[in-house]
Structure 1
Amino acid sequence: MTAVLDAKTNTIADDGSSTVDLASFGARAGAFAIDVLLGIGVLAVLAILGVSAITVSRPGWLWIVYAAAAAVVFLLMAINRLLLPATTDWSLGRGLFGIAVVRRDGGAVGAWRLLARDVAHLLDTAALFVGWLWPLWDRRRRTFADLLLRTEVRRADPPQRDMRRLTAKVLVAAVVVCAAAVALNFFVVYRHEQAVNQARQDITENGPRIVEQLLSYHQDTMQDDFKRAQSLATDSYRSQLAAQQETAGKAGATTNEYFAVSSAVLSATPERAEMLVALQGQRGNDVETLQFITATVRVDFVKSRGSGWRVSNLTVLKKPNIGQAPQ
């Protein structure tokens, strides 16, 4: 004799068969895709963009925007996955497919048990995803997490509101967030790279000439040349340059001309650049006393608004080598 009790009060018949309407594997997979995979997809996009913003030379605030957006997405996922089922009996995906997570006796599941169940899903994943497929042959269609937390997923009456329209809005919002993040990354990075390329080009063209003017002076116009050189230096470097010029002036008025024979940009940002410059020149006031000069310097540049590039530091890597000028 087989005795079957009401499905609302009992879930097992005497012959061991289930008398409750368990959720199908397809419905569970669909709900999981809406509740979890959709959010993970958005988080993955934000994570990739955020990591690239840190590892690549870009504005420092960009990764903060992505991190804040990812935190909001994660919070919304937690609310949908844990709080809504505990208060309204459904999440977005479960409401769309008409299923609900309940205790084995049919009672409601609280937020803490739902959280523990989601954590226990790590076992389903760690077992080479076998736990996720376990409902295909388990008679109560349970994953390892369900077995551990004594829960199961059953068919349930869907919410009264239009879940299809709400899900469509969420899908559109997710696409918009990803598209906006990618567009922001492209726009900011493109502008940044354009600015870097422009800075590198400016320094390549004007950096050697600035160094020549900074270090060169003539006997008859020495003081004017010193003032011109100081105008090419930043406020922080100007005092050091003035001290060097004062020492040169005390040594006597003479002509000192440098010419950049080769240069290389070591690094560049929209506001700063570093360049290596090889110099040759001549020192002396007449042909008989003319001396040949070679030197190598590393120069730091800072871009000032409205006044262009200025030298913020100059380091002599190879001290000037003075010899007889070629005849």
Structure 2
Amino acid sequence: MHTVAVLVRSGLLPMELGIVHRLFGTAVDAAGRPLYAVVTCAAEPGEISTEADFTVNVPLGPRALRRADTVIVPAAVEDYRPQRRGQLSPLVRAALEEVPETARLASICTGSFVLAAAGRLAGRRATTHWKSCPELAALYPEIEVDPDVLYTDDRGVLTSAGVAAGIDLCLHMIRSDHGADIANTVARGTVVPPHREGGQAQYIDRPVPESDDSSIAAVRAWALEHLGEPLALEDLAGRAATSVRTLSRRFRQETGVPPMQWLAQQRLQYARRLLERTDEPVDRIAAEAGFGTGTAMRQHFRDALGVSPRAYRNTFRGGR
């Protein structure tokens, strides 16, 4: 039987431990026999604190990792403290050295910082919660950090985005081990989708801050009131009473992006709000947001968020 070991630390996020036990623990074959044995261990066995108002008793120590086929490292509270990131306690480092070379290694959310600090992500593609991706990339330039995906799988080392993406990661591993039918059965039993479209980009709210003392605040405000019109770069420059070159330079200085990219971002944000809050057809929203056609808006959604407008609405409006 395939053994999945969960290596927990003080300040454990209990939901992430529960995800692993629930999903792998309910995977069975056609005869109803369990496909996985799931065990929990710690660098120092005993009572482990969590971010909640209860503790978890973990009797198994790092030796349990020696017989593991898959080792999963969930997030812990310390991962959210910038001064702790990039640091790995000697006990946790020693525990990871117990993991067999043949074992699959995975992390949930900011557990990726543990794998990174242990050198297990060097030269690999990885992800973590979108808020922490910039820091992961800055601390470990040798890692190819992908901030948009829900999980990565690179040569036996896997990482996932935020807490719920741990579900996607575990289902992916079950699907890889035993096929889609078993993974789908586990997903149905847990009442989660067997596969989510797109990545974590669709869950990031990216408003561009507006400043009253900005030299282009007035033209940006005007553009936001005319998103549905076919605005060109020359239109914005004319409204700002400046040259296209000067306008482009000021936009880059104050927003970090060129004018037309900023405009596309604002149209996307507006379309997202309409999809979340109204029942208007996609074509009408496309016109109101300035994309022109539903086809054009669908392409923008695919490029920026990895999902269609319909899938986005189903996710964020659902049964409303």
Mark yes or no: TM-score above 0.5: no
* Band of TM-score, shorter chain: under 0.3
TM-score normalised according to structure 1 size: 0.19
Structure with higher strand content: 1
TM-score normalised according to structure 2 size: 0.19
Rg larger for: 1
Structure with higher helix content: 1
